């Protein structure tokens, strides 16, 4: 059988463009012992893929994507076509980490993406399969672990979330609101700011492009913040350190403002505030908190069943448009979870 897969052909310097990729036709063989053949239906598009479009990714992170090969380590859902592995049968809806291709041959039990991408059967009675790429999957786990474990959210904490209209950010806003917190949200357009305030219930929201972030944050949170969920880094992190109250916490989830930079970016110049205000800055990977996945899926699955969670999607039709979807996301053209719909 012939299938298609997206392969990077050159590493972008700065902006990602579809011309950095090609769609290749490849032979898909039948599964061997212990393997499962999956027809991928939805595949994820993530800001962090940008970090891997280089020969070597930062130490400790998922490896860079080799040129001219399928991109391994991207979350995807699909339907089992053929199985030679115990526990999987044709028709099962699964997630795995061999995304950005039509068909995937997956070895059952082989650990992928730190464990979050290991072949797993999904319960689609809770939500549609693609929700397992968003609220019920790695993005949801990242938001849940970042807020409740890493930032150790406490009653009464005021929370600021950056890149708040994106996949992870929009969940952080809602999880914190559902737990009764005052939430400040920032994003890059008037439409996103309105959505955050009117649909997601953020108490205040601002467009970070409208002025110095520290000033905009000061207006939105005149009494300061207790927790900063950092998706952006750079001037946003610097502004957060200024606004945090004593014993404040930063959960460093990502630094999307720095991903396309060719040179290392300067750090915050106000780090002494961590000393003077007893602050904690803690980076984390969602997948390093896999032990929280059952709790996260139970709690968030409950919010979905009760109709309390907005799950907005930016859907791009057709595998061949996955590179375009990534370029659009990095430029801020997405709202909510970005997905590529490969097949029904």
Using the rule CB under 6 A, which residue among 181, 192, 249, 296 binds ligand NAP? Answer: 192
220 binds ligand NAP (CB under 6 A): no
Count residues near ligand NAP (CB under 6 A). Answer: 30
- Closer CB to ligand NAP, residue 120 or residue 289? 289
46 binds ligand NAP (CB under 6 A): yes
Give min distance, CB of 341 to ligand NAP, in A. 16
Give min distance, CB of 259 to ligand NAP, in A. 7
150 binds ligand NAP (CB under 6 A): no
Do 159 and 220 contact (CB within 8 A), yes or no?
Answer: no
- Closer CB to ligand NAP, residue 256 or residue 304? 256
Q: Residue 205 and residue 207: Cα distance in Å, rounded?
A: 7
Q: Which stretch binds ligand NAP (CB under 6 A): 152-160, 211-219, 270-278, 327-335?
A: 327-335
153 binds ligand NAP (CB under 6 A): no
Q: Residue 163 CB: number of other CB atoms within 10 A?
A: 27
Q: Which stretch binds ligand NAP (CB under 6 A): 1-9, 21-29, 52-60, 165-173?
A: 165-173
Enumerate binding residues for ligand NAP (CB under 6 A): 46-48, 139, 142, 163, 165-169, 187-189, 192, 231-232, 253-257, 284-286, 329-330, 332, 334, 338
């Amino acid at each position: 059988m012939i299938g298609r897969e997206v392969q990077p052909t050159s590493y972008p310097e700065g902006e990602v463009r579809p011309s950095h990729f090609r769609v290749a036709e490849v032979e898909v063989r039948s599964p061997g012992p212990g393997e499962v053949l999956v027809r991928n239906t939805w595949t994820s598009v993530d800001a962090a893929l940008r970090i891997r479009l280089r020969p070597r990714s930062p130490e400790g992170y998922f490896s860079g994507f080799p040129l001219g090969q399928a991109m391994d380590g991207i979350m995807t859902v699909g339907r089992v076509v053929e199985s030679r592995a115990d526990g999987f049968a044709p028709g099962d809806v699964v997630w795995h980490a061999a995304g950005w291709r039509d068909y995937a041959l997956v070895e059952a039990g082989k650990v992928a993406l730190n464990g979050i991408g290991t072949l797993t059967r999904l319960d689609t009675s809770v939500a549609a399969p693609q929700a397992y790429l968003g609220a019920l999957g790695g993005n949801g786990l990242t938001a849940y672990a970042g807020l409740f474990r890493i930032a150790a959210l406490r009653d009464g904490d005021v929370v600021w979330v950056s890149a708040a209209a994106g996949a992870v950010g929009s969940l952080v806003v809602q999880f914190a609101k559902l737990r009764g917190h005052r939430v400040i949200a920032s994003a890059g357009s008037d439409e996103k700011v309105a959505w955050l305030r009117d649909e997601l219930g953020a108490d205040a929201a601002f467009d970070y492009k409208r002025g110095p972030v520290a000033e905009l944050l000061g207006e939105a949170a005149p009494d300061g913040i207790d927790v900063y969920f950092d998706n952006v880094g750079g001037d946003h992190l610097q502004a957060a350190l200024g606004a945090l109250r004593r014993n404040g916490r930063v959960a460093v989830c990502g630094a999307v403002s720095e991903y396309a930079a060719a040179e290392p970016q300067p750090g915050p110049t106000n780090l002494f505030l961590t000393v003077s205000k007893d602050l904690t800055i803690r980076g984390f990977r969602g997948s390093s908190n896999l032990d929280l996945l059952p709790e996260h899926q139970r709690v968030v699955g409950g919010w979905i069943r009760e109709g309390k969670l907005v799950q907005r999607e930016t859907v791009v039709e057709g595998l061949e448009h996955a590179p375009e979807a990534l370029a659009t996301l990095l430029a801020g053209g997405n709202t909510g979870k970005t997905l590529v719909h490969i097949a029904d």
